[in-house]
Structure 1
C-alpha cells in the first residue's frame, strides 16, 4: 500500500530536536530489548480516557528523558522515573489540546537518549528508533485498536522522537493493515521531517 494518500493529511515541521551538549557516549544495549511492553497492563498507559467523543487521538510524546551517566543504557526502561515525569509534562503541554473533541490515548514507550541517537549516522539512527521505541509503539497501537478503538476514526499525533516513531507506525503497521488505515483522519508528525521519498 502506497502512503501517497497520506500527504494531504500529514503535518510535518522539518525541525529536528537539538542535539544536546557533547559528552562521552557508550553503545550500551538496552535491558529487556527482545520483548515489547505489555499494554494489557494499565500502568503502561499515560492516558486511557473515558470515551466521550466520536474520534480518538493516539499520541506519542517527544523525548522525555536523557542519560545521566555515559554508562547508562541508551534506551530507557518503561518505568524510568525521569521518562514518566517528562512524558506526563509533555502530555499536559500538548496532547490536552485534543481533549475537547477527542478521546486521547497515550502509551508509555521506551525511548532512545536523544544525544546518542542524533550522534549516529542516519542509517544507524533509523535502525535504533525502528527497534525498541517502534516495537513498543506498534504493540501499544495494536492493543489500542483491538481493545479501545471500537471502530472509531482516529488521529495520530506526535512530536520529535514520537513523530519519528509514528512514521515507522505509518509505513509499517498501517501499511500492513489497510482496514485500520482507512479510519485514520490525519497524522500530525510534528518536529520530524516527512520527505517526498517517504510518501512516494
Structure 2
C-alpha cells in the first residue's frame, strides 16, 4: 500500500473536445459489482491474528464502506479516467488492499457493504488530471450513490448505518451524507461517519457535527496522518478543517501516548495488531505520529502517512465503531475483543 504514494506511472489520455468517455455504469443487482456483501465470502470477512472474530452474522447495524483510489496506472483494457469494473486485476487489487486492511475493521460493528465503482484515476489529484478532475469524480460518485440507493432498497430494512470511507472514497461519502442524510429522515439512522484521509470542514454539514467523544452518534470523525517532522505546505493547514484523534476520539491537542494505541496493522495482516504502534497528536489541520518501528523500516522514508490513516489505529477504530453502535442502540457491549 505504501507504493501507492508514488505509483502514478502513467495517465489516461486527455479527452478531446467535450467528450468524456467512461466505462459502462455498474448494475448493483450483480454481486460481482460489490467488493463486500454480507453472506458473500470476501476480504471484509477477514480478521488479523487469531483472537478477533467476524461478527457480521449477529450485527445489529450496517456499514457502507467507500474505498479509496486503487486505480493508479493505465491498464491495457482500460485507458479512461474512470476504472472499468470488468478489470479483474484492479478488482483483486481493491480486495487485497483496502477491503482487507480497511473495510474488515468494521466487521465486528456491522454488516459490511462495499460497492465497486468507477473510481477516478489517481492523477485527478495531481496537475495532469486537473482539467478532468470534476468529471471523473462525478462519474465515480454516480456509482456510489446508485450503490447506496440499491442498498437502501434491498438491504437496509431500517437498520442503523455507519458510513466509512478513505481518501477518494471520503470525497464521495461527504457528498452522500449531504444527498441522503443531511436534514432527511435517514439522518436519524446515522451511527457515525468515518471520513478519513481528506480535509473535511468542521462546518461541512448543518445537522451532522464533528464527534467530540467516543460514544457520540449522528456525527463524523476525520483525520489525515503525517510523520512528526512533516511541514505543511501553503494552504495545507486550514484551521477550519476537522480533526479527531483516533486514540482519544476528541479534538484535544494534547499528545495521546502510544499506550492508548490498542494495535495497528502493518504489511503483515495475518500477524495481527501491534499494540502501541504509534502515538498521535493533533496539530492544526492534521494528525501527527512518530515513525513506527518494524522490520525494513529504514526504507519507509515518506512523511505522508496517508495510506496508513486506518492501519496505524486499526484496533482503536474497530473498538470505537462497536462502541458507537452500542451507544446508538442504548445497549452494553456483549464483550471486548
* TM-score range normalised by the length of the shorter chain: 0.7 to 0.9
Give the equivalent residue in structure 1 for 2:172: 165
Structure 1 counterpart SS, 2:58: coil
Q: Bigger CA drift: 78-87 or 159-168?
A: 78-87
1:152 aligns with 2:159: yes
C-alpha change, 1:128 and 1:198, in structure 2 (3 Å) is: farther
1:94 aligns with 2:81: no
- Per-residue deviation at 1:72? 1.5
Structure exhibiting the larger radius of gyration computed from Cα positions = 2
Give the equivalent residue in structure 1 for 2:26: 37
More helix by share: 1
Give the equivalent residue in structure 2 for 1:141: 148
Distance 1:20 1:43 in 2: 26
C-alpha change, 1:108 and 1:193, in structure 2 (3 Å) is: same
Give the equivalent residue in structure 2 for 1:48: 37
Q: Is the 8 A contact 2:178 2:205 kept in 1?
A: no
Structure 2 counterpart SS, 1:157: strand
Give the equivalent residue in structure 2 for 1:103: 111
Structure 2: gaps of 5 or more residues: 40-56, 207-337
1:62-106, Cα deviation, whole Å (9 max, x unpaired): 111223369921111112123201210211111111112211111
1:198 aligns with 2:187: no
- Per-residue deviation at 1:127? 4.4
Structure 2 counterpart SS, 1:182: helix
Give the equivalent residue in structure 1 for 2:254: none
C-alpha change, 1:150 and 1:189, in structure 2 (3 Å) is: same
C-alpha change, 1:198 and 1:125, in structure 2 (3 Å) is: farther
Give the equivalent residue in structure 2 for 1:179: 185
Q: Is the 8 A contact 1:58 1:105 kept in 2?
A: yes
Q: Is the 8 A contact 1:19 1:114 kept in 2?
A: no
- Per-residue deviation at 1:197? 5.1
CA RMSD of aligned residues (A): 2.6
- Per-residue deviation at 1:189? 1.1
**If the length of structure 2 is used for normalisation, what is the TM-score?**
0.48
Distance 1:25 1:68 in 2: 6
* Larger RCO (CA under 8 A, 6+ residues apart): 1
Structure 1 counterpart SS, 2:113: strand
Q: Is the 8 A contact 2:180 2:186 kept in 1?
A: no
**If the length of structure 1 is used for normalisation, what is the TM-score?**
0.78
Structure 1 counterpart SS, 2:144: helix
Runs of 4+ in 1 over 4 A off after TM superposition: 17-25
Distance 1:59 1:88 in 2: 12
